[in-house]
Structure 1
């Protein structure tokens, strides 16, 4: 009888060596996965408790490249540049012991193109602080205004605390033709400091949110858009849904440089993704992000699929959100691939980054949900001998086993990625923010983000 030789290749996909590299300046080119990409390397230095972190739980990168880290136990939002230098001018976000008579333990944060810093604390509120207004300074605000209805010629004069004020400044039939300015410092301080942007129990939100008890909203995640849109999205953990919140005008302010800008307040518009267990539904929402095309990506802890992508589809006067990924077609929808993924992020090329929390790793996918690489995982190659039963005989073969070693990342709770393709991870139990970068991009000419 002729002996057969078996060739067995056993692979446990892994990489993410713990080799450290310094992160040079920023680059203004986007990351794109190409042939020759190798592995994700840890960027040095690690941002740890020496920065003041206790439980860094969420991270977001502003349009100007600044890195915002929400830390629940510290009751603070830390702001750093991308070299890890702590920045001045953000004291209002530190030790938030009295925001609208509430002690804030922030759990999520996002920054829009207007430099509104939005954050949540797990309640039915969304808070806002504006970086631009505080950098320039607020000189005054509109205390009274006169409004004109061009079609009728009628005029109405109202103060900024009148019941009709909110309706008039958002009404399409009225225009503001005259403003009386005030520099009352207490009012300016209330605008400059962190304040409530949206609350589910406000009467207008209770009225608009007909099918839910909006005062019972418990927000677990928020995401702003990448454009100048006057809306944002929030995950409501209590009702297992994602809602769209409009940014309605609430106050007219004048900055020290003479610029006049509208500030906004949040109003419920619609539930865009509802409770369910199939593709494009929500069950125990955890993290959320949005791409340049308006597609929503979210992670969840409930059945059945851990990661979802939904795309907006305009049907007449309405916009509905339909699943863009399906089981059996997109790898990212494979059952049992993830265990409690706390967060998901998407870059400018629609590559998807998943914080696979209980498995102590980051999984990376292309725009179509095809698996690409892991980050935060070490690998070793073992040269070993195996015995395989072949018929009535045992055949001895030599083989190599590539084995994953996990544990350097203990529990990734949040993830984001910048324009350079650098991944930022909040490893909450270890009080660290970790950064990873593809090793084939080390020699690129790095430039400042614009």
Structure 2
């Protein structure tokens, strides 16, 4: 007995549905595209289009990496990698060669305290700041260690704003007040070469502690219970750095204040700084510009702050400092319905965000095993860390009792490169560096039109 046409159509539709479902289930998102009407017509996937390609080789356990969780790039182009399991900050050049002179950052400890770095950043003064998840910020200075410290100020004579002069011993409370008072002038310095103090200056030490008096202005929170999850410094000569506090769902601004005058072996005299609490940038909430389970943070040359979080409802934010009264306010730059980056449910547990010199934004979308890139106004640009696969197929199109077969293809996202991207950074050449601690590796990606025929970055 012959089957009716409706049964045949229904059977064909089921086969097509099963085919599409299987492909979707294997690869994830699908974009349907119609074939060009002529063979020479350019389609959206034309060969001239650019995609992010993996740059080989991987940086992995062969380079000593165990669990690289965060990454930062200094202004001189060096790559600083926070590896929590190795309790180290490894330093490479852009070619992946481990750099000498940074041995103090491996197997990190201060006093009897072992440190497992979870984030690192470098400011314009070559201060290497890092955190390990508690209420402290640590510092090691690259410049001082490279040039060497010859001596430091043991005390000095100051000319006050009333034209009186007074000798003050360094590191006393009065000294800290005097060196940070713009109306007091240091007119005479007594230098010391005490080696123990010099070793302390050039070594790793805590420059901010939530248990100290540095938090006296933090009256609304118990700073001793803070747990810093991310850190960033403004790339300009700004004296602020920013940390995210997971305990209280907030972002803090910490200010650099003068603490010690040192003389390098080159003869340069420069100020060393400590950090003190300045103000709270943003607090808990579920709207644009508020904080909820903060994970990663970055900043651009204009002082804008970008942060990634796991909490509701928006997971990537950009806030802009606007001076208003004693402290700046930080309204959200992006808004839902206007900027793609604020789309609900676009991200799933993004662990980090980075911004490049053009203010393009890079998001480590951890659970989805991908990197999403947005332009400087928050509109979606491309993805990295995925492969696109084109599947040719034919489908029946039905219009009432009529049916026609048409050739189409489906572009599928195949996510088998990244496993759990957690940290991200971008160098001035546009190379994306991605930490994947689950496989002890650093992945690098670059746009295909910025690679040579051997898939090496064009210099």
TM-score (norm 1): 0.89
Question: Is 2:262–2:272's contact at 8 Å kept on the other side of the alignment?
Answer: yes
**Counterpart for residue 82 of structure 1:** 94
Question: Is 1:355–1:361's contact at 8 Å kept on the other side of the alignment?
Answer: yes
Question: Is 2:279–2:327's contact at 8 Å kept on the other side of the alignment?
Answer: no
1:134-173 maps to which residues of 2 (within 5 A)? 134-149=145-160, 151-173=161-183
In structure 2, runs of 5+ residues without a counterpart are 1-19, 33-46
Q: How many correspondences in the alignment?
A: 420
Q: Which has the higher helix share?
A: 2
**Counterpart for residue 195 of structure 1:** 205
Question: Is 1:127–1:196's contact at 8 Å kept on the other side of the alignment?
Answer: yes
3-state DSSP class of the match of 1:355? strand
3-state DSSP class of the match of 2:162? coil
**Counterpart for residue 109 of structure 1:** 120
**Counterpart for residue 52 of structure 2:** 40
Question: Per-residue displacement from partner, 1:197-250 (whole Å, max 9, x unpaired)?
Answer: 111111131x11111111111100111011011111111111111111110001
**Counterpart for residue 243 of structure 1:** 252
Runs of 4+ aligned structure 1 residues displaced above 3 Å come to 387-397, 443-448
Residues 414, 347 of structure 1: alpha-carbon distance in 2 compared, 3 angstrom cutoff: same
Residues 1:291 and 2:303 are matched in the alignment? no
Greater RCO (Cα-Cα under 8 Å, separation 6 or more)? 1
The whole-number CA distance in structure 2 between the counterparts of 1:357 and 1:382 is 27
Task: Measure how far apart 1:447 and its partner are.
Answer: 8.2
Question: Is 2:309–2:349's contact at 8 Å kept on the other side of the alignment?
Answer: yes
The whole-number CA distance in structure 2 between the counterparts of 1:317 and 1:120 is 28
Residues 1:232 and 2:241 are matched in the alignment? yes
1:96-135 maps to which residues of 2 (within 5 A)? 96=108, 98-135=109-146
3-state DSSP class of the match of 2:321? strand
Match of 1:64 among 76, 82, 104: 76
Residues 1:308 and 2:317 are matched in the alignment? yes
Task: Measure how far apart 1:393 and its partner are.
Answer: 6.0
1:227-376 maps to which residues of 2 (within 5 A)? 227-376=236-385
Task: Measure how far apart 1:167 and its partner are.
Answer: 1.3
The structure with more radius of gyration: 2
Question: Is 1:13–1:404's contact at 8 Å kept on the other side of the alignment?
Answer: no
The whole-number CA distance in structure 2 between the counterparts of 1:447 and 1:114 is 29
In structure 1, runs of 5+ residues without a counterpart are 1-8, 15-34
The Cα RMSD (Å) is 2.3
**Counterpart for residue 11 of structure 2:** none
TM-score (norm 2): 0.87
Question: Is 1:40–1:374's contact at 8 Å kept on the other side of the alignment?
Answer: yes
Task: Measure how far apart 1:161 and its partner are.
Answer: 3.5
